[in-house]
Amino acid sequence: MGSIEANGKTYETDEEGYLADLNTWDKDVAEVMAKIDDCELTESHWEVINFLREYYEEYQIAPAVRVLTKAIGKKLGKDKGNSKYLYELFPYGPAKQACKYAGLPKPTGCV
């Protein structure tokens, strides 16, 4: 177990930096997580993060990267629903890294 400080609040995480309780998530902790990875969150990042949170809300899972890519393409357009675009935003792997900032568990099947 670890923890992250953001805006005077403490957030518990697992050993890989994912939030222990997704209900504790807010935008501040997402910003701090991104900063740790040297990543500046832009509007485009938030589109993906918000999409993941909605997906989890509906289906109770973090989608595999193939599923994420397809679903983003359908929702936000083909120019965004491809691995090149998503890897540019999230170089550590779109599913893994974006899920972390979104406060979700690591996608099922991700090692």
Task: List, by residue number, the catalytic residues.
Answer: 110
How far lies 63's CA from each of 1, 55, 57, 108, in Å? 24, 8, 12, 7
Taking the complex as a whole, the smallest distance from the CB of residue 73 to another protein amounts, in Å, to 10
Q: How far is residue 100 from each of residues 68, 74, 78, 109, measured CA to CA in Å?
A: 14, 22, 24, 15
Q: Which two tokens stand for residue 36?
A: 């740790």
Torsions phi, psi of 18, nearest 5?
A: -85, 145
Pick from 37, 30, 50, 47: nearest CA to 81: 47
Interaction between residue 61 and another protein (CB under 8 A):
yes
* 42 vs 108 by CB, closer to another protein: 108
Draw the binding track, 18-37, toward another protein (x: CB under 8 A; -: no contact): --------------------
Does the protein bind another protein through residue 75 (CB under 8 A)?
no
76 scored as a contact of another protein (CB under 8 A): no
For residues 4 and 64, which CB has a smaller minimum distance to another protein in the complex? 64
Q: For binding to another protein (CB under 8 A), which residues are involved?
A: 58-61, 63-67, 70-71, 74, 108-109
